[in-house]
A and B are shown apart, each in its own frame.
Chain A
Amino acid sequence: MTVLQKKTDNPIEHLTPEDIELIGKELDEIRQGVVDSRGESDARYIRTVIDVHRKIELGSRAVLLASGFAPAWVVGTIGLSIAKILENMEIGHNILHGQWDWMRDPKIHSTTWEWDMASPAEQWKHSHNELHHTYTNVIGKDNDLGYGIMRVDEDQPWTPMYLGQPLWSFINACFFEYGIAAYDLELGAVIAKKQTGDPEFRRRAKQVLAKIGRQVRKDYVIHPLLSGPNFLSTLTANFVANVVRNLWSNSVILCGHFPEGVETFEKKSIDGETRGEWYLRQMLGSANISGSKAMHILTGNLSHQIEHHLFPDLPSNRYAEIAPKIRDLFQRYGLNYHTAPLPQQVGSAWHKIIRLSLPNGWLQNTTARNLPTQLVKLWKMTTGKPRVRRALLREQAALAAA
């Protein structure tokens, strides 16, 4: 993949500026339709989800008090995993987007909500709502693209370090909430620029550490202690539930922007971007997951990533309703509405992670028969002098192009 502007078969070449503005107008109308009809049933929906979450969490924690008994451990861990997933995805993420601010309920409001997650709500809202949702899929602007540690595009030069990408992507997925917290802090950049003494950074780092402290104390000290003799088994249950939730949310987020075929954009392409063009970038830069209603709820309706990116502040329960209209719009303007079942999207995203961890073209050029020679070449590219590496990189790219 390469940024849309450098593609030979640009998927938006057939659209005139007028088309793009018309798309924008239609989308504004769809949005207004939902805004005008938000009401009691939507309010009831989010309150029900919150109510169900609290009861599942309470029930699971109670069952885990007896976690020394194996079936209790299993039931409690499954319950707690589901509760944590609901809390982060359909509840936390969406409330923090301001999707429910219109209810004017101070208890369900983006400015008062805090979630079961290492990153404090306030910091996450900045990096997610303001940066990621504004600069979606713009290379160099949207840090969600690879979270600053991954090679996400063919145009990014390959170095041997990227061979470890699949492994650290997996580790990042397991401890995703901490990855997000570090990312919201822009920890990597701050360390690289040696700005760790900056008072603003220190204030925010303190905030994160305090939040992590409360989270860790709850899951790994207080609840295990309450379980008495079952201290260790409750601790492992909570750990597993956190990892399950992390793997799940990481998978859902990978599916949103990372599967093959989702477009990325050049930095300068967004200079003077109109509302219509912004909409178009969201349409091409997101991918949906198809599936059951339960799956949609557990992904926080990020399975409707395209609809969510077009209208991040509309109530999540309404995305399914507007999805057919959006799909129709894609069709009428000859655009690719990217949707597939979860295993396929996750597979596609991981395939891309692995492909980009290798030199451009290497995976494509490799067959069962030439595997030994390809491995030798990869070894040379990894350990050889820069001149050797450059020659071999050119060779792989040329081979793939041919």
Chain B
Amino acid sequence: MTATVPRPSSARPALRTLRDRALRWAELVTTPLLPADYLDLVHPLRAGADLRGRIEAVLPETRDAATLVIRPGADWRPHRPGQYVRIGIDVDGVRMWRAYSITSDLGRTDGCFTVTVKAIPDGKVSNHLVRRAQPGTIVQLDQATGEFCLPEQRPAKALFVTAGSGITPVMGMLRNHPELTDVVLVHSAPTAEDVVFGAELRQLAAEGRIRLVEQHTDTAGLLDAAAIAELVPDLAERATWACGPVGMLEALEEHWTAAGIADRLYTERFRPTVLVTGEGGTVSFTKNGTTLEADGATPILDAAEEAGVLMPSGCRMGICYGCVLPLREGAVRDLRTGEVTTAAPGDGVLVQTCISAAAGACDIDH
């Protein structure tokens, strides 16, 4: 007998091939529909289906935040604590996608995961999820993604700086990493009642697992970077993860850079920082035939979706490149930097539509 390199069992891929072949045959029967169109009627969460989930419960956390318990489809891959998931939900009949940090314990035995959503003023999706979402609703999912995670080599000392819903990825980490022994959490919220996971965090603090610093901004005001440094004297020895409003993150980045420890700060943003806007223009989608007027402050992705164009999309904050399309002619402006990208006729400059606004007339190949 010769030694062989152990291989992963081929049973599953073989089954998958068999299934795909069977579906191709079944397509002869169902054309022009797909077998999946019929299977979705009975089992939308089956293996091989588009990734979806079912909301099993909506649990209130604070007056404007709730935790959604979601049962994902069979093809869901376990997340790493700190990662987020993009969820597509129909709000007033319109499919909308948003990213939320996963907050659940990986050890859950029911196969579900949770996200915790804070309703932001005028937030269409967040208000819907917190106040109107019903158990039983099917939502669309992407696989969990994101790099806001602890390294394999756990830090000896950790600092988390969070504000508002910024606590959510951190809660995901705290619940799953009991091996962290020296943790400081500085969290800002308007009042004590507004602290999402307030009771659980105070319990962790009482047990001595973390040192919790709550800043109630309605009474105590905003916490600046210098104040944090004062609160956490050994800050330079700690690896820091921060999640919250853009202003806070920028102040922290500045402070950490000034202290020469920028490489020890990890931040998570959920919205791009719109810095520069300008004149808009007419956007034409050459394949689709749609033409629309877009202002200089609206990402082309949003303007196109508003006009009923089906657009590829991803993180919606300029990170994942899932929304990239070729610009055949015209100019677009990067809303984060103000940088203008131009294309001469015939070019195919790839632009991220989620953070690019029209800067004059442009033709997009879609």
A contact set with B: CB distance below 8 Å: 38-44, 51, 54-55, 58, 98, 101-107, 109, 111-112, 114-116, 211, 214-215, 217-218, 222-223, 226
Contacts and interface: CB of A to CB of B under 8 A. Distances in A.
20 contacts: A41-B93, A42-B93, A43-B90, A51-B41, A54-B38, A102-B94, A103-B90, A103-B93, A103-B94, A104-B94, A104-B310, A107-B37, A109-B310, A114-B32, A115-B32, A215-B31, A217-B31, A222-B29, A223-B29, A226-B29
Interface of B: 28-33, 37-38, 41, 90, 92-96, 288, 305, 308-310
A40 B90 CA distance: 8
Given A103-B94, A107-B37, 5 more contacts: A40-B92, A40-B93, A54-B33, A104-B95, A214-B28
Given A109-B310, A112-B310, A104 B31 contact: no
Contacts of B310: 101, 104, 106, 109, 111-112
B167 to A, nearest CB: 30
Contacts of B41: 51, 54-55
Given A54-B37, A109-B310, A218 B28 contact: yes
Question: Is chain A's interface secondary structure helix, strand, loop, or mixed overall?
Answer: helix
Contacts of B94: 43, 102-104
Given A55-B41, A102-B308, A111-B288, A39 B28 contact: no
Contacts of B288: 111
Nearest to A104: B95
B93 A214 contact: no
Question: Is chain B's interface secondary structure helix, strand, loop, or mixed overall?
Answer: mixed
A218 B31 contact: yes
B37 A43 contact: no
Nearest to B50: A107
- Counting chain B CB atoms within 10 Å of each CB, the highest count among A44, A103, A226 belongs to A103
Nearest to B36: A107
A214 B31 contact: yes
Contacts of A54: 33, 37-38, 41
A101 B308 contact: yes
Contacts of A39: 92-93
B305 A104 contact: yes
Contacts of A43: 90, 93-94
A44 B138 CA distance: 13
Nearest to B41: A54
Nearest to B305: A104
A281 to B, nearest CB: 23
A41 B93 CA distance: 7
Contacts of A106: 310
Nearest to B30: A218
Contact of B95 (A44, A105, A114, A116): A105
A109 B95 CA distance: 12
A218 B32 CA distance: 9
Nearest to A214: B31
A42 B92 CA distance: 9
Q: Ordered nearest first, which 5 A-B pairs have the shortest CB separation?
A: A43-B93, A101-B308, A114-B32, A104-B95, A39-B92
B106 to A, nearest CB: 31
A114 B38 CA distance: 15
A217 B37 contact: no
Contacts of B38: 54, 58
A58 B42 CA distance: 12
A87 B341 CA distance: 45
